[in-house]
Amino acid sequence: MNVILLGPPGAGKGTQAAHICEKFNIPQVSTGDMLRAAVNSGSPVGVEAKKTIDAGNLVPDDLIIALVKDRIQLPDCHNGYLLDGFPRTINQANALKLEGIRIDYCVEVKVPDDDIVVRMSGRRVHLSSGRTYHVKFNPPQESGKDDITGGELIQRVDDKEDIVRGRLKIYHKQTEPLVKYYQNDSEKPETGTKFIAINGVGTLEEVKERISTALVS
């Protein structure tokens, strides 16, 4: 089972990706992790990637594809894999197809923007311990104070409403064409890719169950 997981920031993709990998015994193949490993190893692909990164440029698709092809040949990918962070564009999706890298499922976790804003802008963190709270869903005993130490809780810059809405705007612009690409692919039996839209509103367990049911149906 080869899976791509799409969804806006704050949709819980990280949690759901871990669930899919555990349930179906497949690894999470992260392009970010692969790039770091390649650079650290000094492999030919890593050397080329480092040159690009050091120059302040984006790593070209052909290098990412080369890393993905090498990674999915490893034994732990025998039963499949979940691609993390790739593809992000239609060009990248086409490159996967041209290289014969099969995608069985494209899963989109759908959460309304206003729900995402509530989830993310309500987060509060105690920096020294890393303990996290939410003003609505998991509030501290005393507003603005860590339950254990009484230390101040802060809102990360990335969680401020205007920043969250800006990230969502970028997500919709960049990723919605990719969603439509896989929706169209799903209507072509010869591609072998099934597109699944999952309602991401509800508890983590409810969303997990929806994804699990969809992937085994």
Measured over the CA atoms of residue 202, residue 203, residue 205 and residue 207, the dihedral's sign is positive
Report the run of H or E that residue 28 belongs to, with start and end: strand 28-30
156 catalytic per annotation: yes
Parallel, antiparallel, or unpaired for β 123-125 and 132-134?
antiparallel
Which tokens go with 51?
């040159």
Burial 130-152 (b: 16+ CB within 10 A, else e): ebebebeeeebeeeebbeeeeee
36 catalytic per annotation: no
208 catalytic per annotation: no
Which tokens go with 28?
């999470």
71 catalytic per annotation: no
Looking at 55-201, list the stretches that DSSP marks H as alpha helix, in order from N- to C-terminal side. 61-71, 90-98, 113-121, 161-186
Catalytic residue among 50, 97, 167, 194: 167
Catalytic residue among 71, 119, 123, 124: 123
Catalytic residue among 88, 110, 145, 194: 88
13 catalytic per annotation: yes
Catalytic residue among 69, 102, 136, 156: 156
- Residues designated catalytic: 13, 88, 123, 156, 167
